[in-house]
Amino acid sequence: MQVSLETTQGLERKITITVPADAVETQVKARLREVGKTTRIDGFRKGKVPVSVLEKRYGQSVFVEVAQEQMQQNYIQGIIQEKVNPAGAPFFEPKNMKRGEDLEFTATFEVYPEVALDNVEKSLLNVQLLK
């Protein structure tokens, strides 16, 4: 997973994440096997549908589901890795979401502002002296 963080304007940040295609494809194949256990297709017994048939019928929708899950999971890993504190939910924008290619997406979000507390002890001392 490749992660790059950029500051767009003010408190807004944009994180770009690239997930290797083999990681996504492994998840897709596992999900297709799960679907095959419960899917009933004419001409096949329940749980005995070949993966190639499942691929033709459900491959694209399973890929989209897995890609969305990967975006969520890798976004969380990316903000932890970059030590960013988001203030709200991100807006995901897929850049490359083609099967067999690396999954690339951006997540735009806002962060909490950084507050610097300078001379707190001096201020407290002045308040105590005024009393």
Using the structure block, give the residue that is written with the tokens 């969380």. 76
2-130 is classed in which CATH architecture? Answer: 2-Layer Sandwich (3.30)
Name the burial class of residue 47, with classes exposed (0-12), middle (13-18) and buried (19+) by CB atoms within 10 angstroms of its CB.
Answer: exposed
Rounded average pLDDT over 40-48: 85
Please give the Cα distance from 68 to 11 (Å, whole number). Answer: 25
Q: Residues 28-43: pLDDT tens digits?
A: 999 999 988 888 888 8
Residue in 71, 25, 69, 70 with CA at minimum distance from that of residue 51: 25
pLDDT at position 126, please?
Answer: 61
- Domain borders along the chain are 2-130
Q: Residues 85-127: pLDDT tens digits?
A: 999 899 999 998 898 899 999 999 999 887 776 666 666 666 5
Q: Residues 54-75: pLDDT tens digits?
A: 899 999 999 999 999 999 999 9
Taking phi over 0 as left and psi of -120 to 50 as alpha, with beta for the rest, 61 belongs to alpha
